Each structure stands twice: as C-alpha cells, then as structure tokens.
Amino acid sequence: MQIQENFPLRAYNSFGIDANTRHFARFSNDDQLKELLLAVQRSPLSQQNLLILGGGSNILLTHDLDGWVLKNEIQGIEEVHEDNEYVFVKAGAGENWHSFVQYCINRNWGGLENLSLIPGNVGASPMQNIGAYGIELEDVFWDLEAYHMNDHAIHTFTQEDCQFGYRDSVFKHKYKNQFVILNVTFRLRKHPIYHTSYGAISQELDKMGVQTLSIQAISQAVINIRQAKLPDPAVIGNAGSFFKNPIISRQNFEDLKLEYPGIVGYASQGDTVKLAAGWLIENCGWKGFRKGDAGCHDKQALVLVNYGNATGAEIYALSQEIVNSVAFKFGVELEREVNVL
Ligand code: FAD
Ligand code: EPU
C-alpha cells in the first residue's frame, strides 16, 4: 500500500476542484484499511483529519486538506441468498454505482432501475440514502457492514439501524465520521415491480416507443431524462443537486402559493410539502448565472457548476448568495446536500 504525499485531488472530485491532500492512499480490503487507520492515528494531531473517499461526486473541496484521504476501492459483487421472490446481492463499497445497477439489470433483478446513472460508488449510497425518480436506496436496502474507525470491529447495520430519511442517514448524524462502509447488501426482486409514475418517465417511455415495460426500458428512460438536464461531470464540474428540496408546512406552502401561484411543491410526509428548490432558485434569477468559472446550471438551477477553474471557495460563496436570496424572497432556508470540506 502506497501513501502518497501532497496528492492532487482534481481528478477525484466531480466538481473538478483543484485541491491537494497531505496524505492519500487506497485500500481494497479491511486489513489494508486497518493498517491505514493505524497510520492516521500515529500521525501528528493536526494531520489526523480523515476523509473516506468514494467517487467524489458529492463533495466540495473549499481548501487543501491537511490530513488524510483514504479511497475505498473494495470490489466484488456476490449473490448471497435467494428465495422465491428476492435475490440478496452484496456489493463492495468501491464498486461503481451505475456499473452495479447495470450488473443487476442484466440479470433481470428489479429495484435499482430508477436509480440508474447516479454517479459515485456503492459505499456512499447509504450515506445520504440516494434517491431519484420515485425510488430511494432504502427501498432496496437490506443491510451493510461497516468498520468502526476506533474499535476496529466490523458492525452490521440493518435498515432500522440506518435511520434513513430524505437524503439522510445515521451516518450523517450520530455516527458521523465514525464508520467506513465496507459493503452493502440489496434485496432485489426476481419479478420486478415497475415504478413509472414519477416525473417524465412515462412520457419518455412513450417517446422511446416502448410497448412492453421492462426494467431495461425504465433504466434507459431514466438515463435519457438525466442526460437531458444534468451536466456530465466529465464535461462540466458539478456534484448534482447542491441543495436539498426544502420541506415546509402545508400552511406555509398555501401562503406562498397565494403570492407565487407557479411555485412547485409535492405532498410530503404528514402535513408537509417538499418544495422544488430548483424553482425557487430559478425564480430568484440564478439559472444560467455565471461569475468567473462558478455558475448555476442553465438547464437545472439546483445544480451548481465549475466551468473550469473555479475554486471550492468561489462555488461555496455562490451557494451562500443563493441561500441568502431564496431566504430573502421566499423566507425558505435552503440546506446544502453536498458535503462541504
Ligand atoms: P463521495 O462524494 O466520495 O462521498 C460522499 C460522502 O460519503 C463523503 O462524506 C464521504 O466521506 C462519504 N463516504 C463515501 N464512501 C464512504 C464509505 N465507504 N464509508 C463511509 N463514508 C463514505 N445523488 C442522489 O441521491 N440522487 C441523484 O439523482 C444524484 N444525481 C447526481 C447527478 C450528478 C451529475 C452528480 C455529480 C451527483 C449526483 N448525486 C445524486 C450525488 C452523488 O452521486 C451521490 O451522493 C453518491 O452517492 C456519492 O457517491 P460517491 O462515491 O461519489 O461519494
Ligand atoms: N425546477 C424549476 N427550475 C429548475 C429546476 C427544477 O422550476 O431549474 C422545478 C420544475 O418544476 C421541475 C421540478 O423543479 O419539474 C423538479 O425538478 P427535477 O425533476 O429536475 O428534480 P429536482 O427536485 O430538482 C430531485 C433530486 C435529484 C433527482 C431528481 C429526480 C434532490 C435534492 N434532488 O431533483 O437528485 O435526480 O429529483 O428524482 O432531491 C441529487 O441528489 O444530486 C440529485 C440530482
């Protein structure tokens, strides 16, 4: 295992931010991880900051990191169990998410098709309970194994243990920076149930001329929709939605609707409404905005972009201006979805 010093992270974050880390190493099994964690603990206190890195598609680096970046490259996909209805599939945290989705779709295991083309790796998927097109990770999650950074033991987390919420899990709160996710087991359907009611999926399936529904067709429809509005990080740096869609009370929503009849919101849990943050941001005039190389995407206002050489601090400053203007105009607080470092 090689530990590299003053390592450039530009190729390791989808925003394409030019920042370095003092120490960088990769691990592909738990023994290597243990060895690296012991090295972190032996390093000077000032350098014990630690980032476990997957695909780097949900982070914003606002400065050089004076510590460690350990990149999780644990591979492997294994069918661990099956019954009449389900197949249980375990995937290593370092597997690429979309490749894993395709692996399952090719075997006609249903459940992941709506989550096609989300960047990043399997290990990060439970962190924020990734979601898209009407499905969230928790709908297909069975359990995960994670390595505790201090007691060096491997713990199993069930669905209940993970406390999944909208872009949320226990790993962002109670267990923040305590565990390294090693693998995730998914419960997939042998006889898929199709979810096509969300957003433009049905419309896209019609456009594709699909006569007989399949998980392959749904996956392709989702890919087409995503490619039409989300910037490809290989072309323009970004981390997907920069903010969460804010959840407000129904009363608050009704009041806003009187003043802004076009406001977009969806019924959420209890008596709440999830607002489309993209609409709020667009209606503050930010869509397509660019200052230097930091910008707000011209097809999806919820996505902040790096046109080339923006710094993380510039992207962050833009995000703060957006937060301020949305709060000023609509009285709604935007919360960042991206992990800011
Ligand atoms: P990273 O960015 O590497 O890490 C994210 C966080 O998880 C960090 O805090 C990191 O320390 C932690 N982490 C990563 N791996 C581990 C591990 N093994 N153990 C412990 N902690 C770990 N997200 C959605 O939910 N839905 C979408 O539709 C969506 N669309 C996107 C579209 C684009 C174009 C982009 C760029 C991003 C999009 N995202 C979306 C966000 C992103 O793809 C997901 O959050 C993804 O799960 C991040 O995976 P990653 O491996 O890149 O994580
Ligand atoms: N909208 C606008 N202007 C915009 C963007 C959106 O008015 O510039 C309005 C439109 O009315 C649109 C609605 O917002 O119909 C919803 O937009 P979209 O379908 O693009 O979804 P989103 O709410 O912006 C969420 C997720 C995405 C996920 C999609 C599809 C969050 C924070 N984002 O975006 O996840 O892919 O739904 O399910 O929940 C991510 O987390 O990184 C991400 C990309």
pLDDT in tens, 214-251: 999 999 999 999 999 999 999 999 999 999 999 999 99
In a domain, 226, yes or no: no
What's 283's domain CATH number? Answer: 3.90.78.10
Nearest to 123 by CA among 148, 151, 90: 90
Given CA atoms 315, 321, 323, 325 in this order, what sign does their dihedral have?
Answer: negative
What's 47's domain CATH number? Answer: 3.30.43.10
Do 93 and 177 fall within a single domain?
yes
Which numbered atom of ligand 2 lies nearest the CA of 241? 42
Residues 6+ apart with CB under 8 A from 176: none
- Residue 21 banded pLDDT, cuts 50, 70, 90: very high
In a domain, 264, yes or no: yes
Q: Do 296 and 321 touch, CB atoms closer than 8 A?
A: no
Do 15 and 114 fall within a single domain?
no
What total number of domains does the chain contain?
3
On the question of pLDDT at 63 being above 80, the answer is yes
Last residue of a domain, one of 54, 72, 90: 72
Q: Do 33 and 43 touch, CB atoms closer than 8 A?
A: no
In a domain, 221, yes or no: no
Question: What digits encode the pLDDT tens for the residues 92-123?
Answer: 999 999 999 999 999 999 999 999 999 999 99
Do 162 and 92 fall within a single domain?
yes
| β-bridge partners, 186 | 89, 141
**In which domain, by residue range, is 310 found?**
237-340
- Residue 48 banded pLDDT, cuts 50, 70, 90: confident
- Kindly identify the ligand whose nearest atom is closest to the C-alpha of 168: 1
In a domain, 201, yes or no: no
What's 157's domain CATH number? Answer: 3.30.465.10
Vertex 71: Cα angle to 241 and 169 (nearest 5):
45
Last residue of a domain, one of 25, 43, 72: 72
Q: Which of 225, 302, 303, 338 to mutate to test the pocket of ligand 2 (most atoms within 8 A of CB)?
A: 302
- Residue 1 banded pLDDT, cuts 50, 70, 90: confident
Q: Ligand 1 centroid vs 124 CA: distance in angstroms?
A: 5
Give the per-residue pLDDT at 44: 87
Q: Is the CB of 302 under 6 A from ligand 2?
A: yes
Do 92 and 18 fall within a single domain?
no
Do 65 and 87 fall within a single domain?
no
In a domain, 120, yes or no: yes
On the question of pLDDT at 315 being above 80, the answer is yes
Catalytic residues: 167, 241, 337
User: How far from the centroid of its chain's Cα atoms is residue 6's Cα?
Assistant: 27
**DSSP states of 133-170 as a string?**
TTEEGGGTEEEEEEEETTT--EEEEEHHHHT-BTTB-G
Q: Ligand 1 centroid vs 322 CA: distance in angstroms?
A: 22
Distance in angstroms (rounded) separating the CA atoms of residues 277 and 15:
20
Last residue of a domain, one of 125, 155, 189: 189
Question: What digits encode the pLDDT tens for the residues 144-201?
Answer: 999 999 999 999 999 999 999 999 999 999 999 999 999 999 999 999 999 999 879 9
Q: Is the CB of 276 under 6 A from ligand 2?
A: yes
In a domain, 285, yes or no: yes
Do 64 and 123 fall within a single domain?
no
In a domain, 327, yes or no: yes
- Residue 66 banded pLDDT, cuts 50, 70, 90: very high
Do 293 and 271 fall within a single domain?
yes
**DSSP states of 244-288 as a string?**
PPPEEEHHHHHHHHHH-TT--EEE-STTEEEE-HHHHHHTTT-TT
Give the per-residue pLDDT at 230: 96
- Residue 128 banded pLDDT, cuts 50, 70, 90: very high
Distance in angstroms (rounded) separating the CA atoms of residues 111 and 17:
34
Give the per-residue pLDDT at 221: 98
Give the per-residue pLDDT at 45: 84
What would the mean pLDDT of 267-281 be, rounded to a whole number? 95
Distance in angstroms (rounded) separating the CA atoms of residues 229 and 227:
6
In a domain, 84, yes or no: yes
Do 260 and 327 fall within a single domain?
yes
